[in-house]
Structure 1
């Protein structure tokens, strides 16, 4: 996972690329964002591939769940949403049930949009900019 915080409070996040430093714990960057104690949004433009999602090991899932539980309040407070850009309307529609359920786990809403312009407009709305 990589993040670009140069446009904070808009944070670009990519999952399909390797971490810049494999020795850094996976959520260290996320913790740094939360430590700012300022609202932000996450945007991902890799598209959605619900048919073949990356399978995480049991240990990865366990660590993610434990991390999320430790940071649940900060996630709810500061992450105003995760916006995923997918140009294919059918893929967006197929991902709707997942998006609806994700708030229960992560504590912030997942939004699906068709373009970068839509993502940026939604980000500004979520941040009240």
Structure 2
């Protein structure tokens, strides 16, 4: 899940992984975003395939990393926005969103287009900025 935070607070995630992909780089990119101390939104336009599996080692490493960074995940990541133009596929993600939020500590939002995703992200960021000043 390579991450691109060059357009922070919009952090783009890709699920196009090479076989020798280094997940430590992904964790480091998220930690770099945390160190900014500013809330952000994760966006992706290529959600994982249904058969996307992680090895037991990857699952354990992810769980340990999440435990260590639970506070940052809950306070700094406003949402993950999944762009899926196909309505049936988008609807299939809805039930998964509940489990996703419980697991990661932030909500999953669905968008039909990049433009809609950017609107949602802008709204989340401005709402948070507004609530932070009151």
Confirm or deny a common fold (TM above 0.5). Answer: yes
TM value normalised by structure 2: 0.85
Report which stretch shifted further, 112-121 or 40-49.
Answer: 40-49
Between Structure 1 and Structure 2, the one with more helix by share is 2
- Tell me the number of residue pairs that the alignment of Structure 1 and Structure 2 aligns: 127
Distance in 1 of aligned mates of 2:71 and 2:23: 27
Where structure 2 has 5 or more consecutive residues not aligned to the other structure, the ranges are 130-134
Where structure 1 has 5 or more consecutive residues not aligned to the other structure, the ranges are none
Question: Superposition pairs for residues 107-126 of structure 1, below 5 Å?
Answer: 107-126=105-124
Question: Superposition pairs for residues 1-129 of structure 1, below 5 Å?
Answer: 1-18=1-18, 22=22, 24-47=24-47, 49-50=49-50, 52=51, 54-128=52-126
Using a 3 Å threshold, how does the CA distance of structure 1 residues 20 and 80 change in structure 2: closer, same or farther?
farther
Partner deviation per Cα, 1:31-62 (whole Å, 9 max, x = no partner): 11111111000000114533x2x110111001
Runs of at least 4 residues off by over 2 Å: 17-26, 47-50
Q: Quote the offset at 1:18 in angstroms.
A: 3.5
Partner deviation per Cα, 1:87-119 (whole Å, 9 max, x = no partner): 111011111111121111111101111100110
Give the CA RMSD over aligned residues. Answer: 2.2
Does the Cα contact within 8 Å between 2:12 and 2:44 map onto a contact in 1?
yes
Q: Quote the offset at 1:22 in angstroms.
A: 3.8
SS in 1 for 2:103: helix
Q: Quote the offset at 1:24 in angstroms.
A: 4.6
SS in 2 for 1:27: helix
